[in-house]
Chains A and B, each alone.
Chain A
Amino acid sequence: MSEEQRVAAELRKRAFALFRRSLHIRTVDTGSCAVCESEIRLLSSPYYDLHRLGFFFTPAPRHADLLLVSGPAVRAFDPALLKTLEAIPDPRIVVAVGACALGGVFGEDELVHGSVDAVVPVDVYVPGCPPSPLALLHGLLVAVGRLEEKVHALRFDLREEAKA
């Protein structure tokens, strides 16, 4: 890792530590089928209750710390997405949610970008179609540095797991 990257990582860590127990989330749907939204809404249900972690949804991007983007980044939605991102004060976190946003479902064409990171810089990727509320919660906790990434260690090889 170069000196620049190390400093950037350290700065990001310290900035994001501010959000550890108080995070306001703005969601943006860039043309998803609304199942990701349905799972995101479930986070505020009594069972998952994300308020217990100090996380809140806010309708105003100017009050938000984190932008939660779902959908395949429809080109017609670019101005709204970029305006929302600009309205969020620095430091801000962008989380891409779902297989569409990660480039799994739609290819790039004249209507969609196919993935969110073609439009805005993404800090954390949350896979799933849709990601379950706990997968989203894990993604948010990874984004603010309260949990470590676990996907590094997963091999998706049953033979190795049987051996271990």
Chain B
Amino acid sequence: MLWFLRGLRKGVVTSHYPARPDPSTDGLPSPPAFRSDLLTAELADRLAAACPSGALRRDGADLVLDLGACTGCGRCNEVGGRAVAPSGAFELAARDRTTLLKRIPIGAGR
């Protein structure tokens, strides 16, 4: 078969990001997101202990997630059960390092 016909039939495969969303990041490892109503201080400490890169720590009544340090390994997901799920977020670039520190209130709304 003529090779260029194969190319024409496939059309343009190049991503249209950022003009259009791109499906290629779906399902990639991503930082965790938390159900703050299911978090307890004890669970937060266990999550912090399970995190190999020190991205999670408990600061009083908050769980602090350092997106810069997170490697998306998913160990908090295994420990946390229903309280933790992958966020799927990838557009995380920040001008200020402190923007990457996220505080999640423990046991909010109870």
Interchain CB contact under 8 A, A135 and B94 = no
- Indicate whether A125 sits within 8 Å of B90 (C-beta atoms), given known contacts A47-B24, A104-B66, A156-B102: no
Residues from chain A with a CB closer than 8 A to the CB of B31 are: 127, 156
Contact of A102 among B25, B38, B100 (CB under 8 A): B100
Nearest-CB distance from B93 to chain A (Å)? 4
Bits for B65-86, please: 1 = Cβ < 8 Å to A, else 0: 1111111110000000000010
Please tell me if the beta carbons of B104 and A135 are within 8 angstroms of each other in the complex: no
Quick check: B99 and A149 within 8 Å, CB to CB?
yes
Given the known interface contacts A135-B25, A157-B33, A159-B109, the answer about A126 and B95 at a Cβ–Cβ threshold of 8 Å is no
A141 close to chain B: CB less than 8 A:
yes
Q: For chain A, residues 97 to 132, give those with C-beta under 8 angstroms from any C-beta of chain B.
A: 99, 102-105, 117, 122-129, 131-132
Residue pair A149, B93 in contact (C-beta under 8 Å): yes
Are A128 and B95 closer than 8 Å at their CB atoms? no
> Is A138 in contact with chain B by the CB < 8 A criterion?
yes
Query: What mask results when residues 142 to 155 of chain A are scored 1 for a CB within 8 Å of chain B, else 0?
Result: 11001101111011
**Given A102-B69, A135-B90, do A156 and B100 touch, yes or no (CB 8 Å)?**
no
- List of A residues within 8 angstroms of B42 by Cβ: none
CA distance in complex: A142, B99 (Å): 14
Please indicate the chain A residues that have their CB under 8 angstroms from the CB of B29 in the complex: 129
Tell me if A138 and B13 are in contact (CB < 8 A): no
Is A99 within 8 A of B34, CB to CB? no
- A105 to B71, alpha carbons, bound, how many Å? 8
B contact residues around A134 at 8 Å (CB):
15, 17, 22, 24-25, 90-91
Q: A48 contacts which chain B residues (CB < 8 A)?
A: 14-15, 17
The distance in angstroms between the C-alpha atoms of A112 and B35, with both chains bound, is: 36
| CA–CA, A139 and B34, complex, Å | 25
6 A-B pairs (CB sep. < 8 Å): A104-B53, A127-B31, A129-B70, A138-B91, A155-B104, A156-B87
Nearest 6 Cβ contacts at the A-B interface: A104-B69, A102-B68, A129-B71, A139-B93, A138-B91, A150-B91
> Other CB < 8 Å A-B pairs besides A122-B97, A154-B92, A158-B35, 4 of them?
A47-B15, A49-B14, A127-B93, A151-B100
